[in-house]
Amino acid sequence: MIEPAAFLAWSALALAVTLAPGADTLLVASHAARTGLRSGLAAVAGIQCGAASYAVLFGFGALSVLAATPILFAVVKVAGAIYLAFLGMQFLWGALTRKNVAQAKAPNVTATESLLQPLRQGFLSNILNPKVALFYLAALPQFASGPNAPLIGAVLIGIHALFGATWLSIVAYAASRARAITWNTTLVRWLEGAIGAFFLGVAGRLAFTQR
């Protein structure tokens, strides 16, 4: 099993990575700010499904295959870049087409509004980003070794996912409260535009990522 010192070191690293602003944080904040807490939490759930997939893949050694196979890595990288660029264009289009309507409060969100979109976006933006896999492959061998390394690695990914779920849920709640208190259509348009530009930038960087 993992030594307590190594466990604490991994926890500190995972927490630092979790708190660093990135695509996951912006995606959750955007959905919560535009359509409420439920949408934000649906995006969190999708991201955590992606994290669970990484834990399973690491346990079976599939992440090593991804890093060691140039063609497979390139396919995942290009697919991820295309999807992130698509998300970026969606946000930019929303910013350009959203009408400025003077409202004293945020519009009501129906209980039946589909949560599939934020769930899907959270999952795909996470699982199609090979930089996440490369981080695990680079960091985990320093903490997980021996015959039980795959199991220990999967558990450590689970710890990272727990930190992520907690932090992103806080982000979703904060963004949804801000939506309820200071709703402003112009501000939402600027938020969508900024997030769209960010995702396009991430897509560009991902497209040129080397193994």
For the four alpha carbons of 37, 29, 173 and 122, in that order, the dihedral sign comes to positive
Q: What integer pLDDT is reported at residue 23 of this predicted model? A: 85
Q: Which of 140, 179, 189 minimizes the C-alpha distance to 36? A: 179
Q: Distance (Å, rounded) from C-alpha 20 to C-alpha 109?
A: 30
Helix (H, G, I), strand (E, B) or coil at 102: coil
Which residue, 72, 100, 95, is CA-closest to 200? 95
**pLDDT per residue as tens, the chain (211 positions):** 677 888 899 999 999 999 988 889 989 998 898 888 999 999 999 999 999 999 888 888 877 787 778 888 888 888 888 988 988 898 888 778 766 544 445 555 554 457 888 999 999 989 888 778 888 888 888 887 777 888 888 899 999 999 999 999 999 999 888 877 665 666 777 777 888 888 888 888 877 776 5
Q: Angle 149-181/4-19 helices, nearest 10 degrees?
A: 30
